[in-house]
Amino acid sequence: MSPSGGWTSLPRILRKCAAALRSRRNPRHAWAHKPLVTPPVVARDPLEVRPPAVVLARIAHAERFCYPHSRRMSTGPIIELVDVHREYRMGAQTVAALRGVSFAVQPGELVAIVGKSGSGKSTLMSLLGCLDRPTRGLYRLDGRDVQGLSDDALSGVRNQHIGFVFQSFQLLHRVSARKNVELPLVYRGVSRSQRRALATAALERVGLSHRMDHRPSQMSGGERQRVAIARALVGAPSLLLADEPTGNLDSTTEREIMALVYELHAAGNTIVIVTHEPSLARQCPRAIRLADGRVVGDGPGREVGAASAAVEEVDG
C-alpha cells in the first residue's frame, strides 16, 4: 500500500507492542531476578554503616542497573594453602622461596602478611593473586583448586575474583579516575552504561564523588590510592589483595587509607595486606609473619606485629 494507507507504520507498532510485553515480563533488567550483591559501603563513621539495601535501591533507581549476581563459589575459606612450596632454578642451584606454607583466610577477615625483604612475602602474594603457581602443595581460592588451571583460566579468575591494590597505584595517567575504575569491567564485556554506573558507585564508596573526572596526575597520592581501591572493588571480588598499600604515602595519608580499609572490612570485604611494616601489621585483627619462606607467626595482629618489630630490632 501507499504511505497514506498506513502499512509503513506497522513495524513501528509491532516494536511498541513487543517493548510493552517485555516491560510487563521484566520491568527492570534481564538479570533482575538473580540475587544481588550488596555493594560495600564506606560510612563517615565505621560504626554507622548505612543499610546496604537502601544504598542499592538508590543507585538502581538513579542509574537503572543491577549489581551482578554473587560470584562466591563456596561457603568455606576464601584462601586455603596446604604445604605450599615455591622453588626457582638459578643456574645449577634451586632456591626455595616458600617452604611448606599452610594457612587459611575466612570470608570477611582482614589479614596482614608481614615479613622483611627475602622472607617470601612477595612470592606468596604472587601465588595468592594467581600470578604464579606453587611448585608443589595445594592452593584453593574460594574453594577452587586453581593451580592446575590454564593461563587463560587463571586470567579469568584474577579478573572475576581478585581485586588488586598496588603500592605504585598502576593507574593510567591519560584518562580520568572513572575510566581507570571502569577498566576491569571492560575485560568482562560489561556495557558502557553499566561500567559507568558501577565505577561511579565505587568512587562514591571511597569518597571521590567530586574527583571522578580528574586524571591521576591531578590527584594527591592518597586520592590515587583511593582510585586504585575503587578499581579493585568495582567487580565485587571475593578477595581484595593489597601490596604495600601505604608504602608511598605520608603518615597522615596512611592513616586515611587505613581508615578506609577498616570501613571496607567492616562492610564485609575479605582483605589481605602484604607489608614489611610491623606497625601496619599491628593495626590488623590478624597477622601472619613470614621468615625464610616459612610461617613463623600467626595470630592477633598486635602480637605478631610486636614480635616482628622486636626481631627487626635485634637483626638491626
Give pLDDT tens digits for 99-115: 999 999 999 999 999 99
Higher pLDDT, 5 or 91: 91
> E strand or H helix at 286, and its extent?
strand 286-291
**Which stretch of 34-48, 69-83, 197-211, 269-283 has the lowest confidence by average pLDDT?**
34-48
Maximal C-alpha separation, the chain: 96
Instruction: Write down the pLDDT at residue 227.
Output: 94
Give pLDDT tens digits for 47-103: 333 334 443 443 343 333 333 333 444 578 999 999 999 999 888 899 999 999 999
The b/e string for 146-171 (b: 16+ C-beta within 10 A; e otherwise) is bbebeeeebeebbbbbbbbbbbebeb
Domains and CATH numbers, the chain: 107-133+148-315 (3.40.50.300)
Instruction: Write down the pLDDT at residue 141.
Output: 94
Instruction: Write down the pLDDT at residue 249.
Output: 86
Instruction: Write down the pLDDT at residue 20.
Output: 56
Percent residues over pLDDT 90 in the chain: 55
Higher pLDDT, 54 or 292: 292
Mean of all residue pLDDT scores within the chain: 80
Read off the C-alpha cell for 264: 571496607
- What residues contact 15, with CB distance under 8 A and at least 6 apart? none
pLDDT band, residue 202 (cuts 50/70/90): very high
Instruction: Write down the pLDDT at residue 314.
Output: 74
The answer, as to whether pTM is greater than 0.85, is no
Instruction: Write down the pLDDT at residue 38.
Output: 34
